[in-house]
């Protein structure tokens, strides 16, 4: 009986090890480099709050990556609660070898230095260098 339990545990552990998870990057990874292999998954999860006049959006996506999904994951909120933040989440699959950079942009109203009048615009907000090997 003990031998069967050990075998079952070993099979379960091997199954988990074979699954390999996605590489997840967050706000703290701004400006860093991630190395993937073709077929690997990459998740970009950045803090955001859609209740403000500022939104995050994908700017540049390297041709080595294919966007699989994009969603906003709101933090827990009580009924009727407003101003709740969350995360913008983009999922990619590495589809071919090469190098590139993911750029996330901030969209909103920005003030030029010395001006009291805001202008609508887009500014680079976050980036990640991606190296995809075979």
pTM strictly above 0.85: no
- What is the chain's pLDDT, residue by residue, as a tens digit (134 residues)? 444 433 443 433 333 333 458 999 999 999 999 999 999 999 999 999 998 888 999 999 999 999 999 999 999 999 999 899 999 999 999 999 999 999 999 998 877 888 888 888 888 999 999 999 98
Domains of the chain: 21-133 (2.60.40.2020)
Closest of 123, 116, 118, 62 to residue 93, by C-alpha: 62
| Spatial CB neighbours of 42, under 8 Å, sequence gap ≥ 6 | 22, 23, 24, 25, 34, 36, 65, 91, 92, 93, 94, 130
């Amino acid at each position: 009986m003990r031998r069967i339990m050990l075998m079952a545990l070993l099979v379960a552990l091997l199954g988990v090890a074979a699954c390999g998870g996605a590489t997840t990057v967050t706000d703290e990874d701004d400006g860093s480099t991630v190395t993937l292999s073709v077929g690997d998954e990459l998740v970009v999860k950045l803090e955001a709050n859609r209740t403000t006049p500022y939104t995050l959006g994908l700017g540049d996506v390297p041709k080595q990556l294919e966007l699989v999904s994009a969603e906003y994951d709101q933090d827990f909120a009580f009924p009727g609660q407003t101003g709740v933040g969350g995360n913008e989440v983009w999922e990619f699959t590495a589809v071919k070898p090469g190098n590139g950079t993911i750029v996330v942009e901030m969209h909103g109203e920005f003030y030029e230095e010395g001006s009291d009048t805001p202008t609508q615009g887009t500014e680079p907000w976050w980036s990640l260098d991606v190296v995809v090997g075979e």
